Amino acid sequence: MKIFIVEDNENVREAAAGYLKLEGFEVAEFGELKPARKALDSGDALPDLIILDVMLPDGDGFLFAKHLKQRVDIPLIFLTARDQESDRITGLELGADDYIVKPFSTKELVLRVKAVLKRSSAPPEAGGEDDELSYELGEEQLTVSEYRHLITYQGLPLQLTAAEWNILVFLSARAPQVFSRLQILEYCLDSVAEGSERTVDTHIKNIRHKLPGADWLETVRGFGYRFAGIKK
């Protein structure tokens, strides 16, 4: 699998690239946004994942990610010194699959990369082709097919990040059970995402934005979240 690292600090970039190469990844390194953008626009094979700094010499990583996600759905991990919770929430709202704050452990970075790639490219479970489940909530319809890796809302496919997909599939399959934020972090984010519980709130907010009608993901105050759809 191919990974782009967009990071202006040469030591950080080389350390991250070195560990990823030892794990068998193909890595392309960029110190600025312009060459990374050129590589993405070149028509060559797109990377399987992008590791992106926020503060770069020729632009803002958040803005770059926003424009990128409007064009193509590539798994994305922010790697940045900006450690405020508001920055983490901004990154996740832009569609990032993870947010790592510097200084960081290169071993942890590799684990998180593997976890995101596992979520985004997981093969369908055996058993198959008849796994599609349909749900309704009021006049709205939602279908989930893990075999085809497809969720449709009102007949149209939803564009979800790997984390959003895991959360929606997990909660819908176990409705009406309520799960805490910590349980969702553990079961849906492979337990390597050690961010605050607000990370889950941000993913839920993003899913709700993509399901603009009824409240498919219900907040149970003091406990967590549950899927409100009714299986047909």
Q: Does domain 2-120 have CATH number 3.40.50.10470?
A: no
What is the distance between the alpha carbons of residues 231 and 7, in angstroms, rounded to a whole number? 46
- Position 135 scores a pLDDT of 95
| Range in 41-45, 100-104, 211-215 the model is least confident about | 41-45
Percentage of residues in the chain having pLDDT higher than 90 = 53
* Domain boundaries of the chain, sorted by first residue: 2-120, 133-231
User: What confidence category does residue 217 fall into, taking pLDDT thresholds of 50, 70 and 90?
Assistant: very high
Q: Which residue has the higher pLDDT, 83 or 61?
A: 61
Give helix 162-173 / helix 198-210 axis angle, nearest 10°: 90
Is pLDDT above 60 for 96?
A: yes
pLDDT tens by residue, 131-165: 789 999 999 999 999 888 889 999 999 988 888 99
- What average pLDDT does the segment 216-223 reach? 92
Is pLDDT above 70 for 195?
A: no
User: What confidence category does residue 129 fall into, taking pLDDT thresholds of 50, 70 and 90?
Assistant: low
CA triple 200-201-204, angle to 5 deg: 85
Asked if domains 2-120 and 133-231 share a fold, the reply is: no
Assess contact for 214 and 141: CB atoms under 8 A: no
What is the distance between the alpha carbons of residues 55 and 60, in angstroms, rounded to a whole number? 6
- Position 122 scores a pLDDT of 60
- What separation in angstroms does the CA of 104 have from each of 21, 91, 107, 166, 198? 18, 17, 9, 25, 20
Q: Which CATH number fits domain 133-231: 1.10.10.10, 3.30.470.10, 3.60.10.10, 3.30.450.20?
A: 1.10.10.10
What mean pLDDT is reported for the chain? Answer: 88
Is pLDDT above 70 for 128?
A: no
- Position 27 scores a pLDDT of 96
Is pLDDT above 80 for 68?
A: yes
- Position 115 scores a pLDDT of 86
User: What confidence category does residue 85 fall into, taking pLDDT thresholds of 50, 70 and 90?
Assistant: confident
User: What confidence category does residue 168 fall into, taking pLDDT thresholds of 50, 70 and 90?
Assistant: very high
What is the distance between the alpha carbons of residues 228 and 218, in angstroms, rounded to a whole number? 6
Strand partners, 140: 137
- What average pLDDT does the segment 96-114 reach? 90
- What average pLDDT does the segment 44-71 reach? 92
| Range in 11-20, 53-62, 69-78, 190-199 the model is least confident about | 190-199
- Position 130 scores a pLDDT of 56
